[in-house]
Every structure is written in C-alpha cells, then in structure tokens.
Amino acid sequence: MRTELQYSKKMFMRLARPVFRYSAATVVLLLASGAAPFQCSTSDDLALGIPLQTGNVWTYRGTQTVRTNPTSIPAAFHTAPIKLEMRVVQVVRRAGITGALVRGFPYDLRGGRPATYAIIEVGRKVFLVEGQRAETVFNRLNNRGDSDFGDLVKDSEVLFGTPLAVGQKFCESEQIARDGDMYCWKVTGKRPFAHTGVNGLRAGSSTEYEITNRANDGYSSFGISPGVGITRFSYEAMCASCGDKAEIRLVAYQRGAFTMT
C-alpha cells in the first residue's frame, strides 16, 4: 500500500549536517521550498517554518539537568546553564528543493555528543532525518547526476507541516490511525511570541506554536514561530534510571547574507 510520501517523480518535483567534512561537529541539513525572509510574515500561511539563509544564526540559552549516577539512591542530579547555537553553513537549491547545511540543533541536548541531522521540507512538510541518512540525503541533493528524489524521506521522519494549526498531528501512517497521540508530533497550542528579549529581531510579535511528542520514555517539545524558526525546545527523559531534562529558549537571531548555489 503506497504512503503519501511515495510520490511519483513528477509529483515530487512539483511539490516541491559535502557533510563528511563536518563530522566533528553537529551538522543539520535543513531544506525548505524557497528563500526565507528575515521578518515574519503578517500571515503564518505565507511564512516558512524555519527561515534559511547562509550565515543565519539562532542562539539559545537555558538549563540542563543530568543524573550524575544512574544507580545512586536517592537519585543525584546536576543542573547547569547551557548555551546552544544553530548556524546555517551552506544553502543549495535543486529542482524546487532548497537544502541548507546547518551546524547545531536542539537535539544536541539529548545526545550528549555531536550528531548529524537532516531536516527536509517537501511541499509544506518538514522531516527530521538522523544518523547516516543525513549525510546520504545531502550528498544525493548535491549530486547533479541524481534527480529522482521520490524516496528521499520516510513518513516516520515527519516533524511538522505548515501552515501550522492547533490540533494537527504528524506521524507515521500506522500511528495516525491509532487512538491517542503517543509517538506523534501534535500541535498542542499557540500563543503570541514577543520579539522583545531576542537580539536581532525587529520589534513586534508573531505566533508561536507548540508541537509535542510523547512516548513511554519521555517527551520533547518545540516552539515554532513561522518566519523566525525554532523559538524554544524542552525534553525530559522518564525512566527508572534517568530523569535528564533541559529547556532552552531563543535569545538572539542573526541574519546571514542571502546566497544560494
């Protein structure tokens, strides 16, 4: 049975962290279907979830709590301030797909060491790809001899879609049909996002949507403001021998120069 991502080559084209050099750093590949503006659109429908230009930098600050000894009773934790940066390194566009190589991503807080990700926007859906597939995806996009991207992403890698609306649910096809929202990304709310307190954003406000994924071993939550990008991130690991958690928020946004190859 064909899923919605098994597009024909023709349909895919219409809808619409080289990576090995950056293996020592966390690299994210973000792809969006066009150039992204610096200012938020007056309509969320017209703004990309994450604006992408070479040199764009998002800076986050917050706190992280880590269990110091998984076997200690009672549990011992250490909480410390943390800073995380996400930077667009390279932007490439092919056949209606725009790819941005980015260093840093909120998931760095969970892994404890640099990792490689790919976020791909196909049409108006955004997919998160991790591990070796991130390198494969970018190399395929950068390979002028490869033009068939019908299998570039899997429905299990969906993160969110735009325009965002409260109540939307994004997950694998088999999870969509189940009762409840476990193991799916769900838009659980929205609120005004004031630009005051974020260096680099012009005065005003935009809409921030909360998307949350809950599983038996914990939860993750993003704040997404179309035209601004990821505004906050939090997670908590819930199991007998863990309890790690973190929360960060956007404190600065630096716009890069618009370049595309």
pLDDT score recorded for residue 241: 60
Beta-ladder partners of 38: none
Q: Which of the residues in the chain have pLDDT under 70?
A: 1-47, 112, 114, 174-179, 240-241, 258-261
Contacts of 42 (CB under 8 A, 6+ apart): none
Q: Which two tokens stand for residue 180?
A: 């409840």
- Vertex 123: Cα angle to 121 and 127 (nearest 5): 30
- What's the predicted TM-score (pTM) here? 0.78
**Would you state the pLDDT for residue 97?**
75
Q: What is the pLDDT of residue 211?
A: 96
Reference 164, options 212, 219, 196; nearest CA is 212
